[in-house]
Amino acid sequence: MVKIGKYNNFLNYRLLLIAYIDVAPTHQAFLEKPGVISEDIATSLDCFSCFFTEDVWDYLVDKTNTYAEFKIQNMTVGLLNQYLSHT
């Protein structure tokens, strides 16, 4: 006796496999010159700044400082001595 759940899983897998075979992408050669094409981006730093905006840096600094304050507040003398002995 076949359980309905197992049959449905097998059937779904088989349909998914058939769908994948029917619509599998073909390999296309990339013929263009790679890289960023923009008049506004002249250097690597310009490109980097498009993703790491001032807001992102402010967020990173805020979270880093919050974490540092948490670690300092939870620091014990033993942990401080252990840290200083390894540096």
- State the DSSP string of 12-27: HHHHHHHHHHHHPPPP
pLDDT value at 84 more than 90 = no
Domain ranges of the chain: 47-87
The model's pTM is: 0.45
Higher pLDDT, residue 25 or 40: 40
> Which residues, other chains included, contact 41 with Cβ-Cβ below 8 Å and sequence gap of 6+?
47, 50
Fill in the amino acid letter for 23.
V
pLDDT per residue as tens digits for the range 48-76: 998 999 999 999 999 999 988 888 887 78
